[in-house]
Amino acid sequence: MKINYKKPRFRDLKPEVQSKQITIATKELTELVIERMGNDLDAMLLFTLARDFGFRKHRLRKVYDGIFEAYRDLRNAWQGDNREVIDDAKRELKSIGVDVELWNEQKRAWLDGGYKNDECWNSHGRKEVEWK
Q: What is the pLDDT of residues 14-51, one digit of tens each?
A: 888 888 888 888 878 877 776 777 778 888 889 999 99
Distance CA 2, CA 40 (A): 49
Rg (CA), the chain: 21
User: CB neighbours of 23 closer than 8 A, spacing ≥ 6?
Assistant: 79
- The residue ranges of every structural domain in the chain are 13-83
Distance CA 120, CA 111 (A): 11
Task: Report the pLDDT averaged over residues 80-101.
Answer: 80
How far the first Cα of the chain sits from its last, in Å, is 66
Q: How many CB atoms lie within 10 A of CB 74?
A: 18
